[in-house]
Structure 1
Amino acid sequence: MHAVIASPQEDKYLVARPGARAGLKIERAHYRELAAAVDAALPVPSWLVTNAHETWGLNLTSERTDQAVIVRPETALGYSRATWEICLGCNFQCAHCYLPERPFAGLPLGEKLRLLAMLRDAGVLWLQITGGEPLIDSDFPAAYEHAYCMGMLIEILTNGSQLHRHVDMLAQMPPHKVTVSLYGATPESFDALTRTKGSFKNTMRGLTAAQAAGVPVELTLIITKHNAHELADMRALAEQYAVTHSEYSNISPTYAGGAAPLGSQAPDFISKESVFTGCPAGHTFFHVDPHGHATMCKIGRENPINLMTDGLDGLLRLPKIADAQMLRTGGCSECALSATCRVCRPLARAYQEAKAPLHTYCQHGN
């Protein structure tokens, strides 16, 4: 199993280690040296031996480069990140979910693996596997191992309820992140938001198993009207089980403009601090749904590109598709406050189609 990954990333070259946040920037000459050393099954170059020890405490002194390093090929596409919905099916029925529907349909395993190879060849180093709930997909273990062995740094976005079933694999093949959504601090609030009896118990089982197996977890605290009164206790759970945590309080419509999730918003927790300053979606980043359709992101799903029929050449159309979706149109045309807007145009469109109150997403509602 490889110890590190060498990968081109836009105009840079990186060496990364699965499961570690620290990485190395290297010169192109060093990247090419590693590629040649892999081809010739040479010992790991001395400069990498030294840097690996200093950065990760990793001993590569007696290792062959072809056994210790995956060298990712250069690509003309230049994508570095992608999100992939392995399935939309979920074992929770969350009231705040941004998905309009959650069918289990998707690609068979062979096509999933072919899709992952295309993502690698597009340049994707950081891959987020999401859903629905990815850990209930029967193909998840095989897909995860395939992506890992191709040299991807994987984030799993999960509700944690099935995490206990996968911790042994994740301990052996460390992900870049496991991000678990926390929907409350008690069964009452948690199960009310997920609309699934036993969801709190199962998520806590997953967190406990991950901790025991040494699989680090990040928690995202989802703040809604169901659990806002428990925020201090949710933070305490994060201190106990997570290496770090974030808080998410701005509930959005479905990406298709459905208003149902907005009913979960806790009005006093609408954040008005962050300003949208631009996004690389469609240019260095993209999203793929369970059928292999690529779009600029999870929200901006207009004009999807079928990677399974069009191949990587289809991604050449994505930047223009993304730019068209980012144009301020409709009620946002020539807005004098656009420089300090908090949402991107695709998300604003979803709010508008949901007929959401202006104060939930737009400064004109203040």
Structure 2
Amino acid sequence: MHELIVSPFLDGYLALRPGHQAGLRLPEHRYRELQAAARTEVPLPTWFAEIAQETWGLDIDGGSARSTLLVREPSDHGFSRASWEINLGCNFACKHCYLGLKEFSGLPWDDKVRLLDIMQAVGVVWFQITGGEPTIDKHFQDAYRYAYSLGMMLTISTNASRLWQKSLLEMFEECPAYRLVVSVYGATEESFDGLTQRRGAWKSFKKGVDAAREAKLPVRLNLIVTEDSADEVDAMVALAERWELDHHVYTNMTPTIYGGPESLLAQSSKHLRERTPFQGCNAGHTFFHADPHGKVSICKVGRDDQIDLMAEGAEGLRKLGGIADKLMLRTGGCQGCQLSGSCLVCRPLAKQFQEAKAPLANYCQHGQQK
């Protein structure tokens, strides 16, 4: 298996090591040199071996380029990142979940392989596998290993409830992840089990995090603040600091992907943060999202005008840029707004809040107190 990935990335080239945050930018002529070397049994160039030692502490001097490097080929599609809900099914039933109904369904294995092949062909380097809870999908480990073999830097979004399993720990040791993003729903068993609506959720979460820490996996914590954990914010932060794990605090809930309001009921009103103005994004232009059935949208929020990747293949993705530009237009309930130039959310998210009949304070400047 490869030690390093060399890949085109947007308008440049990168050298990356799975399981590590550090990366290197390469000029085109260096990329071409490594590309040519990896097609033969010649040793790695000395300059690259020196950089690998300096950047990652990796001794590859004298090694074969073919056995050490996975060199990704250029793509004219222009994508660099993607996310994939491998399955919406979950072993928790969190009150705040934006997915709404979490049904166990998805692509058969052969189509999962085809989806991943397309991801690679269109240039995806950073790839997030999410759910539901991805680790409970019957094909998760095979899909993870296959995506790794294609030269992707993998992020897994998980509730950590299965991270203690031996097969998962062995997989992450053999095929290191770029990052494991673990959601934290409280600092006590009562609040954690209350939000997830699953007795024993806290215990399984703690067992998984303890195993991940012992294995030195690259864990980052998302601390989710809701009504159930509103009085435990400091305790959640203290927990993350005691574990010496990177963490971010999330307080603003969103409607479900169907525009339903039920997830907003978990919002802690005293922790509702004022949003900063939306500055635009490259959704649909350099990244995209795929649901469990291979239906592709510009992102997890803007799911209108999906493309059936299984029917249309990679060429279908060329339509995403136009779809993104159309979805970002401020129409419907925002038409004619004089504050739209500094709106607090993107148009697709505003549409979800409007469909959920959410209070303006959750997403719109018209609801902010002066």
Residue in 1 aligned with 2:280? 278
Residue in 2 aligned with 1:197? 199
Residue in 2 aligned with 1:181? 183
Task: Please state how far the C-alpha of 1:304 moved relative to its aligned partner.
Answer: 0.9
Residue in 1 aligned with 2:3? 3
Cα deviation 1:41-75 (Å, max 9, x = unaligned): 21111111111111111111021011111000100
**Secondary structure of 1:14's match?**
strand
**Secondary structure of 1:185's match?**
coil
Task: Please state how far the C-alpha of 1:277 moved relative to its aligned partner.
Answer: 0.4
**Secondary structure of 2:87's match?**
coil
Q: Which is further off, 334-343 or 307-316?
A: 334-343
CA distance in 2, matches of 1:240, 1:119: 38
Residue in 2 aligned with 1:256? 258
Residue in 1 aligned with 2:238? 236
Task: Please state how far the C-alpha of 1:309 moved relative to its aligned partner.
Answer: 1.2
Residue in 2 aligned with 1:225? 227
Which of 290, 312, 317 pairs up with 1:315? 317
Cα deviation 1:173-232 (Å, max 9, x = unaligned): 110000000000011001111111111110110000001112121000000011010111
User: What is the total number of aligned residue pairs between the two structures?
Assistant: 366
Per the normalisation by structure 1, the TM-score is 0.98
Return 5+ residue gaps in structure 2 as ranges: none
CA distance in 1, matches of 2:243, 2:68: 32
1:171·1:214 contact (CA, 8 Å) conserved in 2?
Answer: no
Task: Please state how far the C-alpha of 1:341 moved relative to its aligned partner.
Answer: 2.0
CA distance in 1, matches of 2:110, 2:275: 44
CA distance in 1, matches of 2:19, 2:262: 37
**Secondary structure of 1:164's match?**
coil
Residue in 1 aligned with 2:308? 306
Aligned AA for 2:239?
L
Residue in 1 aligned with 2:55? 55
Matched-pair identity in %: 49
1:182·1:219 contact (CA, 8 Å) conserved in 2?
Answer: yes
Which of 168, 171, 174 pairs up with 1:169? 171
CA distance in 2, matches of 1:292, 1:340: 34
Residue in 2 aligned with 1:74? 74
CA distance in 2, matches of 1:273, 1:331: 19
Task: Please state how far the C-alpha of 1:102 moved relative to its aligned partner.
Answer: 1.0
1:219·1:242 contact (CA, 8 Å) conserved in 2?
Answer: no
**Secondary structure of 2:75's match?**
coil
Aligned AA for 1:226?
D
Residue in 1 aligned with 2:215? 213
2:177·2:218 contact (CA, 8 Å) conserved in 1?
Answer: no
CA distance in 1, matches of 2:102, 2:260: 14
2:18·2:178 contact (CA, 8 Å) conserved in 1?
Answer: yes
CA distance in 2, matches of 1:249, 1:142: 34
Residue in 1 aligned with 2:45? 45
Question: 4+ residue stretches of structure 1 with deviation over 3 A?
Answer: none
CA distance in 2, matches of 1:65, 1:124: 22
Task: Please state how far the C-alpha of 1:241 moved relative to its aligned partner.
Answer: 2.9
1:207·1:241 contact (CA, 8 Å) conserved in 2?
Answer: no
Q: Which is further off, 297-306 or 272-281?
A: 272-281
Aligned AA for 2:152?
M
Task: Please state how far the C-alpha of 1:129 moved relative to its aligned partner.
Answer: 0.2
CA distance in 2, matches of 1:190, 1:245: 17
CA distance in 1, matches of 2:244, 2:31: 35
**Secondary structure of 1:277's match?**
coil
Residue in 2 aligned with 1:339? 341
Task: Please state how far the C-alpha of 1:268 moved relative to its aligned partner.
Answer: 1.2
**Secondary structure of 1:211's match?**
helix
Residue in 2 aligned with 1:124? 124
**Secondary structure of 1:163's match?**
coil
Residue in 1 aligned with 2:98? 98
Aligned AA for 2:320?
L
CA distance in 2, matches of 1:282, 1:243: 32
Aligned AA for 1:75?
S
Residue in 2 aligned with 1:24? 24
Residue in 1 aligned with 2:155? 155
Task: Please state how far the C-alpha of 1:242 moved relative to its aligned partner.
Answer: 5.0
**Secondary structure of 1:218's match?**
strand
Task: Please state how far the C-alpha of 1:273 moved relative to its aligned partner.
Answer: 4.3
CA distance in 2, matches of 1:335, 1:50: 57
CA distance in 2, matches of 1:101, 1:281: 25
Aligned AA for 1:88?
L
2:251·2:267 contact (CA, 8 Å) conserved in 1?
Answer: yes
Residue in 1 aligned with 2:15? 15
Task: Please state how far the C-alpha of 1:243 moved relative to its aligned partner.
Answer: 2.8
How large is the RMSD of aligned CA atoms in angstroms? Answer: 1.0
**Secondary structure of 2:70's match?**
strand
Return 5+ residue gaps in structure 1 as ranges: none
Aligned AA for 1:293?
K
Aligned AA for 1:315?
L
Aligned AA for 2:277?
V
